[in-house]
Amino acid sequence: GCTLFVKLHQFQEGDAVHKVIDTQAGHYQAGSAPGIWVLPLHEFGAERVALVRWAPGSSSPRHRHRGGVEVFVLEGVFQDEHGHYPSGSWIRGPDGWEHTPFSGTGCLCYLKSGHLAT
């Protein structure tokens, strides 16, 4: 089985780059805090798309998402003070949304930020 994530009209005008990335072999970079690893997928203007891997027990300092954020939980459980999001959950935070995310069990998330109206 698989999960198919389809989001129509997700490209900004002028964003015409075609990319293919083997995420199983991708090079993750150190994230914003210990235990958080980021695999950049795409950037255009203020928009950023990445896979973010959280080690069990990892957390990020409180932060604000300028241009909003969307998170789709692919594996594990993602959490913040607003809720508990198991695999398959989709979270959308508008421009200026703040939270203090963490994962007790570890997780893998698809993250898209900076693309919502400011």
Domain limits, the chain = 29-113
Q: What angle do CA 50, 56, 58 make, to 5 degrees?
A: 65
Q: What is the CATH number of domain 29-113?
A: 2.60.120.10
All residue ranges of the chain with pLDDT < 70 are: 7-11
Task: Tell me how far apart the alpha carbons of residues 101 and 78 are, in angstroms, rounded to a whole number.
Answer: 7
pTM for this prediction: 0.89
Q: What is the pLDDT of residue 71?
A: 97
- CB hemisphere CA count around 23 (13 angstroms): 16
